[in-house]
């Protein structure tokens, strides 16, 4: 980042005499005396450049002064020349750099990677979800699917089955620097999880909702930019049927096409976003327009979601710096870093986030990056940051958000099973998804209080309940021969 010129400082340096001390501005510490006299010998344009870029180049003014300590006037000028070279050489050069990556448009299978299989070539059947298990229970065997749900292939299957939630994989990991997220959907399908009852609320989303596994979206893992446009098409395809798309990633580049696809159906700026992440992912100015650190900026820049309806939760670590928070403030964005949790506590922070999620729009999309969780719970992610949410915090937060909101989409991203030789990362990712499914199911049954807990599973009501059971004849009879071989 280029900081504003400090004209008063530069003028002071240029006009000062060897016997007159230099007066630094309020942000700069006093320049060492031996360095003052050397700086006065620099050409004015180089001195001005050093005053503009020096702090950013080394991190602090003190570090810059240390780097220049003991250097001759020629060496200091060479240092400035090197800084200017790096800045110039980093920029695009039309004579040596490609402005775009050329593709072989003569390739016979140019679109083969995303080409839809014509129905005439598919197995002929009536539209609707397909139950793949040989056994009556999906837990017993058969083909593994998200949440043990039946499979759907075409939009007609979603419509015919009155599908309410379509879980779809998006195995993309070209937008990150630590690959392996493409295996996230596979890990969540095969992990120790097949849906079922939520004990806290005694609501079983698999029974209340019509849920399907919608397969995986085709990805060109040679190009994130090409892939995200197809993801956008497929997310819009699901949303257009009235089903809620649940996208399982894949890296966080997916947030951009997921939001854009929903905006294509529901309308730009018609919904809010709650973004659970340890990073704010609104970076900009990189050579590529889409990476896992830039989806927020691009979604807002293109107008798919309004910044004031975008809520950040769980930020921590070294990124962003003050410029990032200032950008969010300037654009009306709300944010709740872990530092705020330390200051106010989870209860107050999430009350604010839930309230904000319902302001300005009734519809909501949730983006859940698993690195918002502490690495103790999800070591399988490419950019872990200590000090994150526990599962005991995350599950009720997500469940409440999905209960109290008109949810139009959910994504869970950045699971990298290659970095975890246990099953816990995929297991915990599945339970986060299950928490949201539970919230949607609660809302369907008429429960709109996100803090609702079942009396049955939270109050044993003893000894009254036991006495009632005894009186009603509902208690177990003692059988000393139970479990023994019968004649």
10 pLDDT exceeds 70?
no
Q: How many CB atoms lie within 10 A of CB 99?
A: 6
Rounded distance between C-alpha atoms, residue 427 and residue 447, angstroms:
26
Q: Are strands 334-336 and 363-369 parallel, antiparallel or unpaired?
A: unpaired
CB neighbour burial string for 68-97, b if at least 16 within 10 angstroms, e if fewer:
beeeeeeebbebbeebeeeeeeeeeeeeee
For 313, half-sphere exposure in the C-beta direction (CA atoms, 13 angstrom radius) is: 28
pLDDT given for residue 118 in this prediction: 87
Domain assignments of the chain as residue spans, ordered by start: 7-90, 128-444
Instruction: Report the pLDDT value the prediction gives residue 139, as an integer from 0 to 100.
Output: 63
**pLDDT digits 0-9 by tens, 424-482:** 999 999 999 999 999 999 999 999 999 999 999 999 999 999 999 999 999 999 999 99
Within its chain, how far is the Cα of 21 from the centroid? 52
Q: What mean pLDDT is reported for the chain? A: 90
pLDDT tens for 154-212 read: 999 999 999 999 999 999 999 998 899 999 999 999 986 778 999 999 999 999 999 99
User: Residue 249 is inside which H or E element, if any?
Assistant: strand 244-249
**pLDDT digit string (tens) for 115-151?**
998 888 888 899 999 998 888 765 667 789 999 999 9
Distance between CA atoms of residues 163 and 242, nearest Å: 8
| Per-residue CA distances from 415 to 169, 235, 284, 396 (Å) | 12, 20, 23, 20
Mean pLDDT calculated for residue range 23-36? 71
Rounded to two decimals, the pTM is 0.88
Which one-letter DSSP state was computed for residue 98?
-
**Quick one: pLDDT at residue 142?**
79
271-295 average pLDDT score: 95
Q: In CATH, which superfamily holds the domain spanning 128-444?
A: Ureohydrolase domain (3.40.800.10)
Rounded CA-CA distance 116/68 in Å is: 62
């Amino acid at each position: 980042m280029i900081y504003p010129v400090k004209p008063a400082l530069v003028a002071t340096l240029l006009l000062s005499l060897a016997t007159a001390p230099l007066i630094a501005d309020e942000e700069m510490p006093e320049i060492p005396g031996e360095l003052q006299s050397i700086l006065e010998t620099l050409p004015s344009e180089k001195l001005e450049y050093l005053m503009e870029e020096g702090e950013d180049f080394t991190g602090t003014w003190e570090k810059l002064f240390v780097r220049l300590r003991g250097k001759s006037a020629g060496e200091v000028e060479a240092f400035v020349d090197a800084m200017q070279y790096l800045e110039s050489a980093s920029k695009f050069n039309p004579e040596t750099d490609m402005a775009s990556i050329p593709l072989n448009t003569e390739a016979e299978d140019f679109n083969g990677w995303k080409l839809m299989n014509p129905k005439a070539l598919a197995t002929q059947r009536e539209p609707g979800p397909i139950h793949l298990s040989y056994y009556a229970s999906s837990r017993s065997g058969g083909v593994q699917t998200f949440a043990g749900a039946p499979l759907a292939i075409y939009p007609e299957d979603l419509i015919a089955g009155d599908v309410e939630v379509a879980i779809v994989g998006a195995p993309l990991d070209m937008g990150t620097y630590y690959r392996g997220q493409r295996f996230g959907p596979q890990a969540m399908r095969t992990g120790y999880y097949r849906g079922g009852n939520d004990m806290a609320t005694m609501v079983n989303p698999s029974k209340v909702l019509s849920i399907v596994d919608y397969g995986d979206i085709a990805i060109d893992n040679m190009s994130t930019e090409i892939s995200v446009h197809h993801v956008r098409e497929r997310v819009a395809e699901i949303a257009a049927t009235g089903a809620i798309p649940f996208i399982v990633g894949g890296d966080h580049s997916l947030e951009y096409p997921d939001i854009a696809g929903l905006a294509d159906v529901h309308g730009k700026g018609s919904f809010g976003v709650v973004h659970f992440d340890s990073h704010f992912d609104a970076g900009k100015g990189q050579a590529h327009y889409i990476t896992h650190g830039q989806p927020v900026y691009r979604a807002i820049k293109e107008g798919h979601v309004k910044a004031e309806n975008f809520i950040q939760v769980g930020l921590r670590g070294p990124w962003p710096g003050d410029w990032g928070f200032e950008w969010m403030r300037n654009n009306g964005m709300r944010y709740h870093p872990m530092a705020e949790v330390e200051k106010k506590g989870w209860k107050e922070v999430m009350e604010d986030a839930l309230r904000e999620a319902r302001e300005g729009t009734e519809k909501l999309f949730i983006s859940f990056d698993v690195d918002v969780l502490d690495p103790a719970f999800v070591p399988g992610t490419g950019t872990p940051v200590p000090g994150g949410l526990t599962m005991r915090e995350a599950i009720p937060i997500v469940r409440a958000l999905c209960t109290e909101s008109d949810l139009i989409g959910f994504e869970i991203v950045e699971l990298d099973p290659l970095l975890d030789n246990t099953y816990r990362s995929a297991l915990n990712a599945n339970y986060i998804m299950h928490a949201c499914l539970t919230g949607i199911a609660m809302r369907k049954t008429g429960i709109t209080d996100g803090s609702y807990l079942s009396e049955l599973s939270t109050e044993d009501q003893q000894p009254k309940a036991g006495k009632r059971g005894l009186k009603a004849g509902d208690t177990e009879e003692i059988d000393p021969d139970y479990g023994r071989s019968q004649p």
